[in-house]
Amino acid sequence: MTAPALDYLDSMMWGIAASGVILGVAALRLRYKPSTDSIDEGQKNIASGLGVALGATGFYIFLTSITITLGLFPSGLQAYNILFGGVGALAGLVLLSGAAALFRGRGVQACTYFAAVLGLYLISDAYSIWKYKLTSNPTETTLLYLAPAIVLLLTVPAMHLENRWFRWLWAIAAFIFAGAWLYFAMTTTPTHLG
């Protein structure tokens, strides 16, 4: 089935996957100190660069999600507005807030609470997708919604505990979520173009 010319979903999938990669790289590369809620001063350049990349991804996800939410997505399916628009817009805002914190080199902990609420929203959507069979493959979509939800919920302890191993676990979870979404994007884009 060929999607309409203004189909944003496949490019949103690529953006979601990119955000997982950026978060994983940030967790592994940056020396973050929870006690001061700051990134080591010597890493300002890499933190700013990751912040810009995360912000660009967040802005794109926010913009396309708002387009879907306003009903400008030409699918004719109201469920798209709920499943992709609202949660996508909040995801874009979470990424933008995290980007600002990375760019500044501090303030990450406050963003984690916003991220955790989004994680709960994703779990709620995942349950609804599975229960009401809202997509063509509800099991796969449920798992795809749960992957970032886990990462978002783990953000709170990862950024508040003085435990480098927990941040490594969080980074691995982010890369797994990114890999799942990359696979989904790679298999979706050809169907949207064909």
Is residue 27 left, alpha or beta, with left meaning phi > 0 and alpha meaning psi from -120 to 50? alpha
At 78 the pLDDT is: 60
Min mean pLDDT across 19-28, 71-80, 87-96, 143-152 is at 71-80
How many angstroms separate the CA atoms of 22 and 65, rounded? 20
Domain annotation covers residue 194: no
Cβ atoms within 10 Å of 141's Cβ, excluding its own? 19
Is the pLDDT at 186 greater than 80? The verdict is yes
Whether residue 141 lies inside any domain: the answer is yes
Q: If you ran DSSP here, which 8-state letter would residue 81 be given?
A: I
Look at residue 67 in the predicted model and tell me its pLDDT: 85
Question: Is 19 a domain residue?
Answer: yes
> Which pLDDT band, with edges at 50, 70 and 90, does 1 fall under?
very low
Does residue 3 belong to any structural domain of this protein? no
With respect to residue 149, please indicate whether it lies within any of the assigned structural domains.
yes
For residues 49-73, average pLDDT: 90
DSSP 8-state code for residue 84: I
* Integer Cα distance of 92 and 37 in angstroms: 22
Domain that holds residue 114: 9-186
What tokens does 76 get? 């004719």
Which range (56-65, 73-82, 181-190) has the least confidence? 73-82
Three-class DSSP category at 184: helix
1 is a domain residue: no
Phi-psi region at 105: left, alpha or beta (left = phi > 0; alpha = psi -120 to 50): left
Cβ atoms of residues 144 and 181 within 8 Å: yes
Say how many C-beta atoms besides its own lie within 10 A of residue 28's C-beta. 14
pTM above 0.75, yes or no: yes
Average pLDDT, the chain: 91
Q: What is the pLDDT of residues 4-46, one digit of tens each?
A: 555 678 889 999 999 999 999 999 999 999 999 999 999 999 9
CATH code of the domain covering residue 120: 1.25.40.600
pLDDT of residue 102: 97
Is position 2 within any domain?
no
Q: How many domains does the chain have?
A: 1
Q: Is residue 26 part of a domain?
A: yes
Q: Which residue do the tokens 């949103």 mark?
A: 12
- Whether the per-residue pLDDT at 134 is higher than 90: the answer is no
Alpha-carbon span 29 to 70, nearest angstrom = 38
Indicate the pLDDT class of residue 135, thresholds 50, 70 and 90. Answer: confident
Count of positions (residues) in the chain: 194
Residue 150 has pLDDT above 80, yes or no: yes
Note the pLDDT of residue 193: 77
